[in-house]
Amino acid sequence: MSTPAAFAASPADAPNPHYPHLFAPLDLGFTRLRNRVLMGSIHTGLEDRASDFPKLAAYFAERAAGGVGLIVTGGFSPNLVGWLKPFGGKLSWPWEVRPHQFVTQAVHDHGSKICLQLLHAGRYGYHPFTVAPSKLKAPINPFTPRQLSARGVERQITAYADAARRAREAGYDGVEVMGSEGYFINEFTAPRTNKRNDAWGGTPEKRMRFAVEIVRRVREACGPDFIIIYRLSLLDLVEDGNQWDEIVAQAKAIEAAGATIINSGIGWHEARIPTIVTSVPRAAFVDVTAKLKPHVTVPLVATNRINMPEIAERILADGIADMVSLARPLLADAEWANKARDGRPQAINTCIACNQACLDHVFENKRASCLLNPRACAETELNYTKTYRAKRIAVVGAGPAGLACATVAAERGHRVTLFEAAGEIGGQFNYAKKIPGKEEFHETIRYFTHKLEETGVEVRLSTVATPENLAGFDEVVLATGILPRRVDFPGASHAKVVSYLDVLSGRVTVGASAAVIGAGGIGFDVAQYLVHEGESSTLDPARWMAEWGVDPSFESRGSLVKPRPEPPAREVWLLQRTPGKPGARLGKTSGWVHRAALKAKQVRMLGGVEYLGVDEDGLRILIEGIEQVLPVDHIVVCAGQEPRRDLHAELLAAGRGARLIGGADVAAELDAKRAIDQGSRLAAQL
């Protein structure tokens, strides 16, 4: 059975003057979506306990009120063996239905539609009950799955159909069947993980039968007026993944089995090619969606690194896809769609694809949020309510902490003056944005520039705050940031020894070889800066694909080809004193990308290093008891940071108090996530 293929905008709808394709309604025959913005599935951690559903409802309600056309929830397993983790979100019992009604009601009240994602984790489940088509352990999971019998396979299909029926009972407009990213269904379709020789494996047709049966049975269980999105893996990006002709055959069979919409799935979780981090070019993978477009008649969704309306509009206007999926960008800004609809893209708080507060949190078993928007998933707890008593507030420092504090306080009705010693706002983000692959950090500065103006903050650039010009304020908030830590081995003041600020500000031009001292986030970024020359490949998808080994024709199995990294601009060593692999403390979901990128540029990463000194010959180090000289032109110090509190000391000496946020408060382990969170939370209380 197939669903109606007509999905054009009704002629009665006047096109949106700013993004006509993005805001054209989508008629699915039995229901209509108000626009082409699909909020893609993202696990938040609020799915796993019924007691968190009111919070989940508030989170989705804000996105629905913000104008999204269709929302897809985080993944819910159709049964226990499909759990993502022990006691993860599941929809297999009648009593699990009711809490979902909070969510569906809240979304419908704001005019959006919502689908529940059915996600069976298969061998990616982090628990001992996992099942799979074949008994093969995933390289990213310690648990080996049990191979399903033929009857066991049938039971899984029934579980999908039952869960979809329950989703309908709960008020969902449909379900998304997760068939990509290397999860259970994808394991059936790919020869890499399906070694069966029965009705469910052995030939491409038998490998895809499981996916097709699930869609057919879900349609049968839920009737014709129920959205079924199927997330199809268009790019597996692993060896022995699917081949293009197999993917096209799957798309056609899934459409014929009753899918309403096909969503693009890009890359297995075990793939060693990044698919969503900030260094991935915007909309990097839409060409593969375009390649599938002529083969299907149901609406097709483009996905991955689509974060601004211009790019979303282009994808739709070029006929690449019928909808765009955004997940993280809607965590960063719940009002993304309304701002685009109203022609205010400059007001969008653009997701910088850092993963620091969303996916990294999920992998650490913490509730997801957003580095830029601490209210994400905390909508019932953190509110920027109007103040009844407007105060005069001085905020010193226009880095992330000061910007967040100033704008939230002003939004609440306070009269805020922001002092910044530099000639521009942004603080250390002005260095971060210079790192190849971190171009998105420009967007945060653009957003705050707009937000300061919108909220009426008085900005005093090129003004060093002093106790004198801070007189007369009701509150003084110091967001003065950090000072780079100095090193103190022999030769530390040699001309070869420079700070990362010297390098990134352009004060020092680094020679043909360099040693980077300190392998934290900044050390890795500086090494990346030093090995690159010319335009960043993040701005050139074709070069980026070649560097990482993605087949540009998408024809080879798994779409993999030999990576062709560009040669490094200089010889670089990256060093740390702690024994072991440098980069172990980088983000869970992005650290491996930083390490792989530097390895491809032949950066030598050494742990367990003792610094003996610097002289004309270079940097002398001791490693495993053996002394070596690294014959480098420069030694770039990225050895962490200390709080910058000179002004605080002066205020204290004058008998005046001030509140400290961001690096000025605690510099150790400081990142923009903590800076923005702290600034926003303080402003919410002032």
Q: Work out whether 326 is an interface residue with ligand SF4 (CB under 6 A).
A: no
What character string, x for contact with ligand NAP (CB under 6 A) and - otherwise, covers 551-590?
A: -------------------------xxx--------x---
The minimum distance between CB 481 and ligand NAP, in angstroms, equals 11
Mark the segment that binds ligand SF4 (CB under 6 A) among 126-134, 257-265, 365-373, 605-613: 365-373
Residue closer to ligand FAD (CB basis): 33 or 661: 661
The minimum distance between CB 511 and ligand NAP, in angstroms, equals 21
The minimum distance between CB 490 and ligand FAD, in angstroms, equals 27
Q: Work out whether 357 is an interface residue with ligand SF4 (CB under 6 A).
A: yes
Question: CB of 617 within 8 A of CB of 629?
Answer: yes
Q: Work out whether 372 is an interface residue with ligand NAP (CB under 6 A).
A: no
Binding partner selected for residue 249 from ligand FAD, ligand NAP, ligand SF4, none, CB under the kind-specific 5 to 8 Å limit: none
CA distance 227 to 234: 21
Q: Which residue has the tokens 């926003």?
A: 680
What character string, x for contact with ligand SF4 (CB under 6 A) and - otherwise, covers 368-407?
A: --xxx-----------------------------------
230 catalytic residue (yes or no): no
The minimum distance between CB 430 and ligand SF4, in angstroms, equals 18
**Exactly one of 160, 172, 183, 230 is catalytic; which is it?**
183
Site for ligand NAP in 307-366 (CB under 6 A): 356
CB atoms within 10 A of CB 345: 17
CA distance 559 to 267: 10
- Which helix H or strand E contains 246, and what residues bound it? helix 244-257
Residue closer to ligand FAD (CB basis): 189 or 356: 356
CA distance 179 to 189: 9
Binding partner selected for residue 401 from ligand FAD, ligand SF4, ligand NAP, none, CB under the kind-specific 5 to 8 Å limit: ligand FAD
Angle at the Cα of 669 from the Cα atoms of 668 and 670, rounded to 5 degrees? 90
Number of residues that bind ligand NAP (CB under 6 A): 22
Residue numbers at the binding site for ligand FAD (CB under 6 A): 354, 356, 396-402, 419-422, 427-429, 431-432, 435, 464-465, 479-482, 504, 521-522, 525, 644, 647, 662-663, 670-673, 675
662 φ, ψ (degrees, to nearest 5): 65, -145
CA distance 655 to 473: 15
CA distance 304 to 352: 12
Task: Classify each residue of 562-583 as buried b or exposed e, where b means 16 or more C-beta atoms within 10 Å of its C-beta.
Answer: eeebeebebbbbbbbeeeeebb
What is the residue type of 673?
A: K
Q: Work out whether 351 is an interface residue with ligand SF4 (CB under 6 A).
A: yes
400 φ, ψ (degrees, to nearest 5): -55, -40
Question: CB of 60 within 8 A of CB of 72?
Answer: no
Q: Which of 6, 7, 35 is nearest to 21 (CA)?
A: 35
Strand, coil or helix: what is 156?
Answer: helix
Residue closer to ligand FAD (CB basis): 262 or 277: 277
Residue closer to ligand SF4 (CB basis): 362 or 522: 362
Binding partner selected for residue 396 from ligand NAP, ligand FAD, ligand SF4, none, CB under the kind-specific 5 to 8 Å limit: ligand FAD
CA distance 591 to 595: 6
Number of residues that bind ligand SF4 (CB under 6 A): 14
Q: How far is CA 49 from CA 45, 86, 121, 381, in A?
A: 8, 12, 18, 17
Q: Work out whether 676 is an interface residue with ligand SF4 (CB under 6 A).
A: no
Count helices and strands in the chain by DSSP H and E runs = 20, 27
Q: Which of 7, 24, 3 is nearest to 15 (CA)?
A: 24
Interface contacts to ligand SF4, rule CB under 6 A: 328, 331-332, 351-358, 370-372
Which residues are tagged catalytic?
183
Interface contacts to ligand NAP, rule CB under 6 A: 356, 485, 487, 517-523, 525, 576-578, 587, 638-641, 669-671
